[in-house]
Amino acid sequence: MDSELQIGLAALGVAAVVSIVGYNKWQERKHRREAELAFKSEHRDVLLEPNEGGASADERLEPSVVRGERSGHAAVRDPGLRKATPRPPEQVDSRVDCIIRIESIEPLEAPRLWAAQSEQLMGISKPVRWYGFDDAQNVWRELNAHSAGAYHWFCAAMQMVDRRGPISESDLMHFSGGVQRVAEAFFAVPAEVPSSGETLRNAAELDRFCAGVDVQIGINIVSSGQPFAGTKIRALAESNGLVIGNDGAFHACDEDGNTLFTLSNMEANIFAADTMRNIATHGMTLLIDVPRVPNGVFAFERMMRQASQMADALQGVVVDDNRSPLGPEAANMIRNQIQHFQAQMASGSMAAGGQLAMRLFSD
């Protein structure tokens, strides 16, 4: 009985030592970083500051090897390896993303990080992206389920707003708590956790701005008698470069493959490549998504030409949502509206059709 008790106590002792060693390792790294910051002088030292054109204070400086002027032997020059937190990845934006960076004591394999975050952040309603900082290349690498490699620094970014609205408080708590639990699991240190109150306020303000410019403009082609045959619709659309998509609509795209406007069925049946021969409809809608198009007026002009050509070929009529014929005056009014909304976006440093807009105005 005594020997079993002694064995049990010894096992507990070993577990405690392992925990203390891990904790002490984390504390040692933390205090070392604090000490480095504490010994930095607030006075400028021109000998230690970089010259013009040199590395900035936020850049990570690596030791370099130079040749001695007299001996010809290699000499190591160490300008002081900076342990500063790397700036967030260029692909994220503090106006749109809730960003948390964490530092691992030892290089952490990306697959282990990915598995842990997948478990902790499951169920969040907004997109979450992860990045690992490549020290050798001084660049962030976006991670996914197939990423390899090991990193000291990681960055998690949750998008705060999309067309479904701003993040909820529960999503924010889920995200920040989940990232911290991932960090703790690997003895990592979060560099900074954003304030929940400020983050929620920023998200609500951004959502209000987006709601004010989130406009889709549609025009219709309606039959004045016989329905439009699907085969003829497809031929007219494809002859003008429109391509049928998986969403049940034809897409007119720019040179980069971005959608300028769509052509869809006003009736219940969607447009699909394998069913167009069986479709007959009394109306179609051409739609331009204003925030997602770089040059809205150009896209509108092309959409109007497409509508006019199809209406003439199908013996239909181009009308607005009230089924009133769309004349030059109404078309000019739409042009002015597009210009107005896209100017509003530009004034908020959010170019229509740009990377930021494409993220914010997604479903």
Domain range summary for the chain, segments of one domain joined by +: 97-210, 214-360
With a CB cutoff of 8 Å and minimum separation 6, the contacts of 97 are 157, 158, 159, 160
214-360 has the same fold as 97-210 = yes
Query: How confident is the model over 149-166, as pLDDT tens digits?
Result: 999 999 999 999 999 999
Query: How confident is the model over 207-217, as pLDDT tens digits?
Result: 999 999 999 99
Return the closest-CA partner of residue 199 out of 160, 233, 148. Answer: 160
pLDDT for 202: 96
Average pLDDT, the chain: 83
pLDDT for 321: 87
Amino acid at 298: F
pLDDT band at 83 (very low <50, low <70, confident <90, very high): low
What's the CATH superfamily of 97-210? ZipA, C-terminal FtsZ-binding domain (3.30.1400.10)
How far, in Å, CA of 293 to CA of 164, rounded? 20
The residues with which 318 forms a beta bridge, in sequence order, are 221
The verdict on domain 214-360 having CATH code 3.40.50.10190 is no
> Rounded to 5 degrees, what angle do the CA atoms 308, 310, 315 make?
95
How far, in Å, CA of 239 to CA of 263, rounded? 14
Write down the residue that tokens 């891990």 correspond to: 22
- Dihedral angle, C-alpha 291, 292, 298, 304, nearest 10 °: -90
**pTM for this structure?**
0.73
pLDDT for 84: 77
pLDDT for 191: 80
- Among 21-35, 222-236, 296-310, 342-356, the range scoring the smallest mean pLDDT is 21-35
Query: How confident is the model over 243-280, as pLDDT tens digits?
Result: 999 999 999 999 989 999 999 999 999 999 999 999 99
Output the CA–CA distances (angstroms, integers) from residue 73 to 69, 77, 158, 292, in the order listed. Answer: 8, 13, 51, 59
Is residue 221 over pLDDT 60? yes
